[in-house]
Amino acid sequence: MAVRLELLKMGRSRRPWVAASTLALFLALMLFGFYTYAQKETGGQAEFRYTFENASYFNGLTFSLYAFYFGFVLILPIFAATEAGAQIASETHSRTIHLMLARPLSRRRLFLTKSAVSLGYLFLLVGGFLALSLLLGLVAVGWGDLNIYPGVLQMTSQHQSLPQSQALARFLLVWPAATLGLLTTLSLALLLSTWVGNPVNAVGSSVAVYLVLYVVSEIHFFEDLRPLLFTSHLAYWRALFQEHIPWNQVVSEALSLGGFAFLFLGLALWRFRNREEVG
């Protein structure tokens, strides 16, 4: 019943629609960006050429990979944080959390239900975003083999090529892998939202912490800190697009991210179980 209630509340809220619309708009803008760039660089040919030797490597799969990567870094964490903020901080702010706590439902179960529903939402959002980017790539550009060159997205040190079917299978693998990465942001936001009673502050502080840590993890000066920052591991799913997947590395980074998520969720649960509803 708790899951049904959470799903109904989410379904009736504007959050899923705002997220879906924003991601669709983002994809449209990405496509427009690629298109205008190709036009400018190729003197009017609607074909993406850059400095690489293969002039026709750009296709719908390349577009999907680029779009997903930037969406993953820039937009999806915001929606993960927003959902977490809505689940706890928003209910605290509107005091509807009192309605649920006035029922024979343990705080642990309530928290785990909300976390599970948020995770399910995130899984669908990531899957939907991947599917939409692939669909848009297919319709607007057309699929083909996925060629990746050194330097781009820091994905490989040498040119690699994945046949279309293999590339699509890798996109499928990316779905749960990227969701796991974003679960850390979601968990961090859940943790902050158990402390902060206002959803705007909860989401704002979560996004701010994520951005600061992300920037820190990209600065070479802080190289020694990288293993300690969850943001250093977030884009581990890129390794899934290598010709030979380095499974040891992927599993190790996935475990690190799982550990961070577990830690954040554990702390959030501890806080939620012991806190008072003062407001």
Partner 1 sequence: MQEAVVETHKLSRDYGRRQALLNVDLRLEKGEILALVGPNGSGKTTLLKILGGLLQPSAGRARVFGLDPFSRRRQVMRRTRFAFAPPPLYDQLSAREHLRLLGGLGLNGRPPTRQDVESALSMVGLLGRADDRVGSYSFGMRQRLALAQALVPPPQLLVLDEPTDGLDPLAVLELRGVLRRLRQERGLTILLSSHLLIEVEQLVDRMLVLEEGRVLYSGPPAGLRDGRQRLHLRVDQPHRAVEVLREQQMRPEASPDGTLLLPAGALSLSQAAALLEASGVRLLEFHEAKPTLEELLLERIRQARRDQGLPARGEVR
Candidates 106, 154, 166, 249: give the one binding partner 1 (CB under 8 A): 106
Hey, what long-range contacts does 156-165 have (CB within 8 A, 24 or more apart)? 156/241, 156/242, 159/54, 160/241, 160/242, 160/243, 161/243, 162/241, 162/243, 164/61
Q: Which residues contact 144 (CB under 8 A, 6 or more apart)?
A: 59, 60, 61, 164
**Minimum gap (Å) between residue 195 Cβ and partner 1:** 17
Residues in contact with partner 1, counted by CB under 8 A, come to a total of 26
**Minimum gap (Å) between residue 271 Cβ and partner 1:** 15
**Minimum gap (Å) between residue 200 Cβ and partner 1:** 18
Which residue stretch of 2-10, 28-36, 68-76, 259-267 sits at the interface with partner 1 (rule: CB under 8 A)?
Answer: 2-10
Separation CA 80–CA 192 (nearest Å): 13
4 binds partner 1 (CB under 8 A): yes
1 binds partner 1 (CB under 8 A): yes
Binding letters toward partner 1, positions 116-145, x by CB under 8 A: ------------------------------
* Degrees to nearest 5, angle at CA 132 with 130 and 134: 70
8 binds partner 1 (CB under 8 A): yes
Reduced to 3 states (helix: H, G, I; strand: E, B; else coil), residue 161 is: strand
In 3D space, the residue among 23, 121, 20 whose CA is nearest the CA of residue 68 turns out to be 23
271 binds partner 1 (CB under 8 A): no
In 3D space, the residue among 41, 48, 241, 42 whose CA is nearest the CA of residue 147 turns out to be 241
**Minimum gap (Å) between residue 231 Cβ and partner 1:** 34
Contact positions with partner 1 (CB under 8 A) in 198-237: none
Tell me which residues touch partner 1 (CB under 8 A).
1-2, 4-5, 8-9, 12-13, 94-107, 109, 276-278
